[in-house]
Structure 1
């Protein structure tokens, strides 16, 4: 029998928790809810496969809770998707610097949440490429999914969030060809208009940054891009 993924929804809006719980359970997940960061610390987060975490709560914010969980070995690798009405660049950067796996701005559609939950659980599942310290590597190329960093032969390389997410996707599912539209759907926010040319430009910048590994990102004419190991 297949084990269901367990998700904890943390938000001080009780109605929103119940809506998310109902829809996630309909998708086949086991779901619990909490209405504060303090409640999460009381019940323990280590038994969950994913947290949907509101940023603005009571005495302890979602950011503060995430930092506390990431500092504890038993909860450091639990994927986190932030849910927030705050949609500024600084908040987004803060969230990803804390090790968030995604960031969804309110108001959002339930369909968007379900799609992103599936994507995060797929990325963070045991695919054979990611060891327990949440690092994906290929020879001397290494992605740290907690710190959101890229290193080549031990040297950190500066990456934008978009470049990091593209490389993460290609490396995590190496050998699979992604069309430009698939990359747009998986990497860019849903409310942003992205042209095919934008994808090509990011791929070009990505290739330049990874040096000797640039030949691993292959263009399949008429289809898209893939990571050739």
Structure 2
């Protein structure tokens, strides 16, 4: 029975591994928009059988990371400026509401977590090495983690786990645009640390109107930077 159980569990475990690995590479830009995902090639890439890979791709298709085109197979989902605009607009709607609630109801524990997350972000370089050429720097994965933690900490006092989940889903989709903008463009915005500090200060001062304005401006600047790098022919 124990062996039978292990065999039955192997499929879902491998499917989860394939799902997470493919999604991580899509977020990082290692799998590019529109790229065809051949079952055999993906199976070899991650060392996982084609059956779990197919199951993972179907899940990713349902989540919007992958497109399943009839008779043609699976492709990495494309990006568009209207999609980016909608994403940023939705983030502003959700996160400004969650931030207001956090400022109104978050206690000392929320403040401490927010300060700690900011200091960790401030001590982490976005790039492992800097230079003028496209290949002279690499993204620091620790910065992405710290950046994500800071934005989550801002909202963590809102009192709604559902709201936090929706915000995290929007954050994940933003990561993909941001990573691709660095990969495909020599121009880059940097870590926007001054903007993060301004949001932090307003939140700790319990000035909800200012904090919301700072967060909104932060996302609008991000939108314009991504538009210029990823969709330069699109007018704002």
TM-score normalised over the length of structure 2: 0.30
Q: Write 1 or 2 for the structure with the bigger share of helix.
A: 2
Structure with larger Rg: 2
TM-score (norm 1): 0.31
